[in-house]
Structure 1
Amino acid sequence: MTTSVDPITLDLIENALLNARYEMDSVVVRIALSPVIREQHDEFPMICNEKGQMIVGQFGSYIPAIVEQFDSDINEGDVFVWNDPYACKGSISHNNDWCVMMPIFHEGNHVGFSSIFGHMVDVGGKVPGSMPSDARTIWEEGLRVPPVKVYENGVLNEGVLAIMLNNTRTPDMNRADLMALIAGCRVAAQRVGEICSRFGRDAYMTACDQLLDRTRDAMRVLINNYISEEPVTFTDYVDDDGVGNGPFKMHLSIYRRGDVAVIDWTGTDDQAEGPINFHIHEGLCKLFFGVYMIMAFDPKIMFNEGFYDLFEIVLPEGSLLNPKFPAALSNRLNTHTRFFDCQAGALGQKAPHLAMAAGYGTSPHFIFTGHDKNGKYFQLMELLFGGVPGRPLGDGFDGHAWWPLFSATPLEYIENYYPVLVESYKPVRDSGGAGMHRGGAGIEKIYRLLEPGSISIHDDREVVPPWGINGGLHGGTSSKWLLRAGETTPERIASKLDNLAVEAGDKVIFITAGSGGWGDPLERKLASVQKDVRADLVSVEQAKSDYGVIFDDTLTVDEAATSALRESKRAERGEAAAFDFGFIPGVTEAAE
């Protein structure tokens, strides 16, 4: 086998793999039918080496755990599928994610794997969308499929496919989306084969090893620079579990032992009764920390699994992050994204100039189901976005996704395919936390429903605000409202609910959380505050109270009055706080 690959060839292979990974995305969204994958891109591809280590991708590899189950009975033309989090050691984290994997061969030699998982709009269970807010066990959340071969030696297993499609309310969409995932894996296999033919199989496999080693070397430097031997701790909270319990504490400690970063979640609350538990794969936990450190401290480093042995993970059994079977998991994204906020809060204490604040803190979803005037069943599912936090380089994004490649569903798509009119879609004024760099704003989306049916909603950070950092202030919280047809006053509804009956003409007002600000708001440029006020992102009142900026009736800054007010506020406040958590019911009172 080739012992090394020259830097130019290594660079060519690296970029060829990255291009193949993005081509996987393109193929999937062209074939898929559901708006969640086709329009919002809720799918995550990767390409692995022959050992199952991720070379390019986003979520980290779960391949070794699957290979182990089949005792090397893996052949060219096989395609594996599964969706049960407990049967694959948390490689995917709720039943809606269908994962496919195929081995890659070149001239009969096994050289790697390709894999993608994507969110299916429905996999059965007690409610449309398969993410019940009040589930207490995974049995209520839809069909569970352990790893099986949906193709064996290139031949479709019709029985497996029939079982999977027979247990969903949206079989046509699920079939198309599943075949899209498989097509994405096949195009990756084709591209890897072409790379092997161009550069030589040995050179390709050696290059994969070198890419892993290069990332590991870079991560060792980051760990030694930014993680201290003295433990740093941080605590954040999830609102509730959907069945009346909460808030739930997530507690993180980070420290270094030699070159190894220890990530310890001891002190995190026990698993929830409701479905917010996050059954996280240990490798995925390592990847999340590695990716955060790369993005915060050195974005030029390539994402892969080369650094896994530089992280030690402690996930207490029976906790919110390591629940025992059969704990419900369907709405684990509240916990998932709070995981990121805890990372930022802990790592930012040693490098505040590189840290970011807290974001909108979940993956809000809206589901509307019913039958149209022709008696045809419809099921709209849409993921909504919120404020992405203020950061060292600038303001947070308004109404943006946590996941970089996600996009909003076009309004034209929703209105063409579902009995819904979107009357308004705009940022929420004053929801972005004040700071030298403002937190991103949440969004308000108003749906007018044109047919009777039922709605299901899931969101978080309605109770626990997204915190600010380095003097930045906390952001605004979420809320949901229902305006019945013919009424003038909307009623507030819960952030987590299922199957609420609605009639034609009713309006749903869906408001997501904003995010925390970064840096002292009294240091924000006057022109930036003025721009936000004129864009209706910040009110005149908040400009005065949080930024110390005074406007006249023409929205021109009164510089003399502003300078005096800012000086007064600095003297009254003193040194800006490292964190601003806002008021957390049940937590702030206890601390006082």
Structure 2
Amino acid sequence: MTNTDKAGVEKMSIDPVTLTVIEKGLQQVCSEMDLVHEKTSFSPVISESFDRSNGIYGVGDGRVISQGALGLPIFIGVMQETTRSVIEYRDDLEDGDVILVNDPYLGGTHLMDVKMVKPFYYKGKLWCYLSNTGHWPDTGGMVPGGFNSTATEIHQEGLRIPPVKLVRKGAMDEDMVRIVLANIRVADERIGDIKAQIAALDAGAKRLTGLIDRYTQETVEAAILDLEQRSEQMMRAHIETIPDGVYTGTAHMDSDGVVNEPLEINVRITVEGSDIAFDFSESSPPCMGPLNSVWATTLSSVYVAIKHIFPDVPVNAGCFKPVKVDKPKGTFIYAEYPRPVAGCAAEVSQRIMESVFLALANAIPEKLFAAPAGTSGNISLGGFDPEEDRSYIMYYFSGGGYGGWWNGDGITNGCSTIGISKSQPVEILEQRYPVIFDHYRIREHSGGAGKYRGGFGVGYKVRMLRGTGTASFLMEHGKFGPPGILGGEEGAKNQIRVCRNGEVIEPEHISKGEGFALGPGDWVEVETPGGGGYGIADERDATLVERDKRRSY
């Protein structure tokens, strides 16, 4: 059965049951890729924290067709831009090839997020692309883990890889592997991550072939178009609930890690009917340090912010058709070569989202929330473990408080707003690295006061047991706590303390620093931000106040 769309093109009609089955089938293909990626990776940041994503992307334009429920949301737009760059730069792709790329300026994020793109052929014809991202704990550079805070150009941050063939017609290019591993500190771990990403793509190709075989190519393609149209309609219906008008919001960053002065992200949002447009042109100019954001990350940050507000819209290219984002050229959130970008994906992205939340809180407070902790709390520790007789790199990120919302308090120890990643279990880290966690606990009193208070951050202290280590930090909200809305107060600020040889110090830039050499007995203590408060504190229900006191909050 067929009907005709607005352009007069005949298209196939699909019954709702089949449409739903195919939609879930595409998501399952992506989710199975995620699971293979997770279960076969060597790095705990992927296998334990799920800092990865897999998806299906369209021929020609690289548009997102589907992404698994287990993938990081920030990679929705990023991998779409990555795939588009691969399509543009490589016209020689063949069945069985896999492209490796981490270039931030070609649809990337920071260098540690390494992408692979595999052209998927069905019955000899290019049908789509399977793409994934995995956070490698190290890609070389000035400091172990890549989260340096003083880089002033991209070349200081690590190995930058343009779209190159890692696999040719099913055979891995060993010369390319040698080049990559020669520029990475813990090579034996990275080769495991490389093979895990390839295995995930292979699993996706197998499952997608089975799905198309079962429902036919014509039916699956028609379903994809139908699903895109439905997502667009649903998103437009949500946007229409926002009163027409212009809304502004500002989020502050502590510093760029080099110049100890704040940066501003200023957004101007225009809502007209079912269209919404974002203008960031009044944000701070490009900065010297690694807190610049590339276009793919900035765009994806807006997409994820909208998905936080309207979470029920299925993810595909149609979801974002009503969302227009002007390229903020001349600002630090439109980084161009050779600007350093180590903090863009984990930190700047969350400030971009915060500016959007604060702006739209004025329009739809019943659907918004106060600012969350808004930092991934990135800490890297790399050195030598004499007991294991090997080098190591431990990359760790932690949770924080979510903001209060219109019907309740914020979540305590929630994940970062860009993902669904969870903190690695401290027991796993203590098994793999020469450290011990003296404590890991809720950070009491850290939630911003309000009618509905913010959730609490966490506090932990990690101590060196043996060997050597060099610690680096790239965090945020150390000078400015997560702001409240509608009269709510800000959440507690981020705090870092380092003890070396019995002397306790704090980084000059509060939330950023690198090159802290540690020995046995030295330690690092981190207190993550709490969420902002929603509404005036005096309006908080007395029973909730009493409950907080009873729980020692």
Q: What's the counterpart of residue 211 of structure 1?
A: 227
User: Is contact 2:400-2:414 (8 Å) kept?
Assistant: yes
Q: CA deviation at 1:412?
A: 1.1
Which residue of the other structure, out of 33, 37, 40, is the alignment partner of 2:46?
37
1:49–1:208 contact (8 Å) kept in structure 2: no
Q: Which moved more, 1:524-533 or 1:403-412?
A: 524-533
How do 1:161-560 and structure 2 match up within 5 A?
161-226=177-242, 228=244, 230-257=245-272, 259-281=274-296, 285=298, 287-297=300-310, 299-332=311-344, 333-374=346-387, 375-402=389-416, 403-451=418-466, 452-484=468-500, 487=502, 490-493=504-507, 494-536=510-552, 538=553
Deviation string 1:383-406 (CA, Å, 9 cap, x unpaired) is: 122112222342222122124421
Which of the residues 48, 52, 63 maps onto 1:53?
A: 63
Q: Would the aligned equivalents of 2:140 and 2:185 in 1 still touch at CA under 8 Å?
A: yes
Does the residue aligned with 2:12 lie in a helix, a strand or coil? coil
Once the two structures are superposed, residues 303-357 of structure 1 have per-residue CA deviations (whole angstroms, 9 ceiling, x without a partner) of 1111444232223323111123101101223211101101101122110111111
Q: Give the SS at the match of 1:321.
A: coil
Corresponding residue for 1:78? 97
- Stretches of structure 1 lacking an aligned partner (at least 5 in a row): 539-592
For normalisation by structure 1, the TM-score amounts to 0.85
Task: Give deviations 1:399-455, integer Å, cap 9, x for gaps.
Answer: 221244211111111111111110101111111111222212111111121123221
The alignment's C-alpha RMSD in Å is 1.9
User: For the structure 1 residues 428 and 119, does the alpha-carbon distance in structure 2 shift closer, same or farther, using more than 3 Å as the test?
Assistant: same
- Who wins on radius of gyration, i.e. which is larger? 1
Tell me, in whole angstroms, the C-alpha distance in 1 between the residues paired with 2:243 and 2:314. 20
Q: Distance in 2 between matches of 1:506 and 1:294?
A: 42
| 1:29/1:41 contact within 8 Å kept | yes
Percent identity between the two aligned chains: 30
In the superposition, the TM-score normalised over structure 2's length comes to 0.91
Give the match for residue 26 of structure 1.
35
Identify if the C-alpha distance between structure 1 residues 162 and 351 changes in structure 2 by more than 3 Å, giving closer, same or farther: same
Letter in 2 for 1:19: Q
Contact 1:227 1:347 in 2 (8 A): no
Q: Does the C-alpha gap of structure 1 residues 285 and 270 become closer, same or farther in structure 2, counting only changes over 3 Å?
A: closer
The 2-side partners of 1:219 and 1:65 are apart by 27
Compare relative contact order (CA 8 Å, sep 6+) and give the higher one, 1 or 2. Answer: 2
* Deviations 1:499-527 (CA, angstroms, capped at 9, x unpaired): 21122111211111111012232333333
Q: Answer whether contact 2:403 2:454 (CA < 8 A) is retained.
A: yes
Distance 1:285 1:408 in 2: 24
Cα displacement (A) at 1:258: 5.6
Q: What is the CA–CA distance in structure 2 between the aligned matches of 1:16 and 1:527, rounded to whole Å? A: 47
- Report if aligned partners of 1:49, 1:113 keep a CA contact under 8 Å in 2: yes
Q: Distance in 2 between matches of 1:123 and 1:306?
A: 34
What secondary structure, in the 3-state scheme, does the structure 2 residue paired with 1:501 have? strand
- TM superposition shift of 1:200: 0.8
Kindly indicate whether the alpha-carbon contact (under 8 Å) linking 1:227 and 1:254 is maintained by their aligned counterparts in 2. no
Distance in 2 of aligned mates of 1:529 and 1:343: 30
Deviation of 1:225 after TM superposition, in Å, equals 2.2
Could you say which residue in structure 2 is the equivalent of 1:122? 138
Cα distance 1:404–1:526, how it changes in 2: closer, same or farther (>3 A)? farther
Counterpart Cα distance in 2 of 1:9 and 1:134: 53
The answer to whether the 8 Å contact 1:227/1:255 transfers is: no
Change beyond 3 A, Cα 1:292–1:131: closer
SS at match of 2:142: coil
One-letter code of the match for 2:213?
A: S
1:191–1:200 distance in 2 versus 1, CA, 3 Å: same
> CA–CA distance in 1 between the matches of 2:243 and 2:172?
49
Kindly indicate whether the alpha-carbon contact (under 8 Å) linking 1:286 and 1:311 is maintained by their aligned counterparts in 2.
no
- Number of aligned positions between the proteins: 527
- Call closer, same or farther: CA 1:56–1:393 in 2, change over 3 Å: farther
Match of 2:405, SS?
coil
Contact 1:2 1:203 in 2 (8 A): no
- One-letter amino acid of the structure 1 residue matched with residue 266 of structure 2: H
